[in-house]
Amino acid sequence: MDLNLTDTQKRIASLAAREDLTQAQIARRVGCNKSTVSRTIAKLIKFGLLQPSPKTGYTCRWYKGSPDLRTGRDLVVSRPHNYQLKYQILHTDGDLSLDPVSVGYYKPWKPRGDVRYKFLWGCDSPGSANITIDVHPHTIIAYPDGKQELSAPSLEILNTRVLLETHEAVTSWVRAQFWQGCKIEINKPEVCGELITRPHVAFRGSSGLIDQGVTLPGWWTDHSHGIPEVETDQWQDATTLDEAIRTIQGMTPIFSELPQLTREIREIHDELKKLKGESGK
């Protein structure tokens, strides 16, 4: 889905992301009332694209924003689906730190054999993914936290960003463990880990037609979440479909005016027909 920002809201977003203007200053520059700015900023915060800047206080606040907001481009919003990167642990020197503050330790679990540990690695940059890191005896599995929504100019860019941000989270976490006295050596740290899943995009449907399935290559249907979804791992095709949906959504107000326009066109046609008949006499 997309953010459905108007031109005014895009200008508000671009100014807010600069981290040097308050809501009142933005309203004066854009030429709108402060309530419009407030509602737009609340929407952007909801999608994780803005956050209060630590440079200012509560009553006179600046905002720290995603670089995407400064471009004024349309953004798509998607929930990362089925991403997991795997890293082999080659060597460990020292005890694994379980400090919640410095390394994001969350909890242990023991399915079989040795205990596993789960870490939550957040990102300070607005619009970036929060990553879960599962530490197994000989491997690290990292993936974006479930149900979070991320934005990008296209689904293709979003896919690349999620992989890069997941890898950056792992390398940052390994570095944090080092400063806590645990040296972890993973295979090829300069290269993204092994992708062991099949990332894809899901479009949630509201029509019974989806239950009949799809026939396009690279597309399939999924009913595991209750509501049927059409899914694909073809990123360009997904971006094209998303853009088409947005175009149709933008045309929806026009559809409601069609009956009135049809009546007016019919009246004009009748008048022209009448005038033509009179001129032929």
Q: What is the 3-state secondary structure (H, E, C) of the chain?
A: CECCCCHHHHHHHHHHCECCCCHHHHHHHHCCCHHHHHHHHHHHHHCCCEEECCCCCCCCCCEEECHHHHHCCCCEEECCCCCCEEEEEEEEECCCCCCHHHHCEEEEECCCCCCEEEEEECCCCCCCCCEEEEECCCEEEEEECCCCCEEECCHHHHHHHHHHHHHHHHHHHHHHHHHCCCEEEECCCCCCCEECCCCCEEEECCCHHHHHCCCCCCEEEECCCCCCEEEECCHHHHHHHHHHHHHHHHHHHHHHHHHHHHHHHHHHHHHHHHHHHHHCC
Taking the C-alpha atoms of residue 115 and residue 105, their distance in angstroms, rounded to an integer, is 14
Return the HEC string of 9-68.
Answer: HHHHHHHHCECCCCHHHHHHHHCCCHHHHHHHHHHHHHCCCEEECCCCCCCCCCEEECHH
**Mean pLDDT for the stretch of residues 91-115:** 91
Q: CB of 49 within 8 A of CB of 66?
A: yes
Whether residue 177 has pLDDT greater than 90: yes
| pLDDT for the residue 81 | 77
Tell which wins on pLDDT, 60 or 102.
102
Q: 1.10.10.10, 3.30.572.10, 2.150.10.10, 3.40.390.10: which CATH number matches 7-72? A: 1.10.10.10
Least confident of 55-59, 158-162, 266-270: 55-59
| pLDDT for the residue 200 | 75
pTM tops 0.85, yes or no: no
| Range of 145-159, 199-213, 224-238 with top mean pLDDT | 145-159
Q: What percent of the chain has pLDDT over 90?
A: 29
Q: Where are the domains of the chain?
A: 7-72, 78-199
